[in-house]
Amino acid sequence: METILIQNAKAIVTCDGQDRVFRDADLLIRGPEIVAIGKDLDSKGARVIDGRDRFVYPGLINTHHHFFQTFVRNLVKVDYPNLSVMDWLDVVYQIFQNVNEEVIYHSTLTALADLIKHGCTCAFDHQYCYPRHAGKELIDRQMDAAGLLGIRYHGGRGANDIPMSSGSPIPDSMVETADDFLADCERLIRKFHDPEPFSMRQIVVAPCQPINGTEELFRESAALARREGVRLHTHLGEGETAAMVSRWGKRTLAWCEEIGFVGEDVWFAHGWELQPDEYRVMARTGTGLSHCPAPAVLGGYPIIPMQTMLREGMSLSLGVDGSATNDGSSLLDSLRMGYLMQTYFAKPNGGCVTPYEVLKVACTGGARVLGRPDLGSLEPGKAADLFMVDTGVLELSGALHDPANMLARTGVTGPVWLTMVNGRVIWQDGAFPDIDERSLAARGEAVCDRVLRQKADVFQGL
């Protein structure tokens, strides 16, 4: 079991319950675990990482993404700002129906590399894209990709069981039955789910979206997840509410509460249609929310009031969302964007969160909604998931007096100096150890070209 000492770090921002920041201090790691933080720790037998001029932060936790969409970026023909969510889905599913195992593997590598380079150590992905020709082992390929890069991965097995002929945007070739979906969830849980502390792989039962799923799908998903002790996730308050009221006579959150799809083991993505009385429902039931700033800005949708939600007791986390509605996978970028959205929104709407509070949403908030008390802060007994920023650079001169607020406030959004997961360095000084990044990138580009660009009409003429 390797021992690592991060020595003489300029600052260690813990995000712990006391919001402690250590200056000119050491951080001692043994195996996957942090064992001590303080000054002049014993370095005997340890591999030393020089912390001079470097700030240390808890690893960021991404709680909503769609990795397969990284190959549908920079595509103006399906530009999100000019379409409603529902109209956008009608177009983009015509591309998604071509996805296969190769696309899933390489697009996952692409998204995870971006996340890792920007300080993310634990990523949840909502994989709801299952064309029949692609088979069922798509999360299996995501697990392969996460294992190669060394990141902690939570796989959300999604599904849609209402076809286009019944009013959804889902092509018939991508619709699954509830029974097939639940059977594959059970398979994935048996194969991958590890509930132990410091686990690197977990499974989430995650039907895609209430407007594209039957009541049976959601009820049975909740029953399976609670029987197996795994968590639940879906999209909510993302533009579907009017259609849910038309179909069911009630708003989406009320529908979810009625069928039992709320609770401390559940979190939703987006929530920009949530109303103040629903914040209290979310808080009362312990249901979490993944705030994804990029798609809200890109689509011109309402800005959620983070300060009000936190004051009501809601559990908030941060997500980058799928690259088709973001075009990038940097959680540092989402951190900055999320903070600036709040500053624009804040004065007439209940006050603003601080940059540090947004950081905590991305760290401790993410750990909370994923049910990971072993993650989210730098403390003895927690997992050694962290990233380091080199502050000895000219562009940060004069900004180093407040490490806790610095990232979102000053716009530190470029690649970090080091990312560590479970005590293992997986990114350092511009390189992935033992991985030929350029070769992987070339292979991914070739797959995108052969499987998507040459088949989908929307790429023609580009």
pLDDT band at 454 (very low <50, low <70, confident <90, very high): confident
**Secondary element (H or E) of residue 317:** strand 315-318
Q: Taken in order 141, 145, 146, 150, is the CA torsion positive or negative? A: positive
Q: Is the pLDDT of residue 167 over 90?
A: no
Taking residues 403-413, report their average pLDDT: 97
Using one digit for the tens of pLDDT, what is the confidence trace for 94-150? Answer: 788 889 999 999 999 999 999 999 999 999 999 999 999 999 999 999 999 999 999
Question: For the chain, what is the mean pLDDT?
Answer: 94
pLDDT of residue 338: 95
At residue 451, the pLDDT reads: 87
Which one has a higher pLDDT value, 166 or 310? 310
> Quick count: other Cβ atoms within 10 Å of Cβ 395?
11
Instruction: Kindly give the pairing relationship between strand 315-318 and strand 288-291.
Output: parallel
Average of pLDDT values for 404-412?
97
pLDDT(460) > 80: no
Query: N- to C-terminal Cα distance for the chain?
Result: 52
Worst-scoring range by mean pLDDT, 26-40, 261-275, 446-460? Answer: 446-460
Residue 353: pLDDT above 90? yes
In this prediction, residue 92 carries a pLDDT of 76
**219-239 pLDDT, tens per residue?**
999 999 999 999 999 999 999
Is residue 93 over pLDDT 90? no
Work out the average pLDDT over 408-435: 97
Structure confidence at residue 81 as a pLDDT band (50, 70, 90): low
Q: What whole-number percentage of the chain has pLDDT above 70? A: 95
Give residue-wise pLDDT tens across range 169-209: 788 888 999 999 999 999 999 999 999 999 999 999 999 99
Interval 249-301: pLDDT, tens: 999 999 999 999 999 999 999 999 999 999 999 999 999 999 999 988 888 88
pLDDT recorded at residue 325: 79
pLDDT at position 299 is 82
Whether the model pTM is above 0.75:
yes
Residue, of 91 and 395, whose pLDDT is higher: 395
| pLDDT of amino acid 453 | 81
pLDDT in tens, 302-352: 999 999 999 999 999 999 998 777 889 999 999 999 999 999 887 666 678
pLDDT over 90 at 22, yes or no: yes
pLDDT band at 457 (very low <50, low <70, confident <90, very high): low
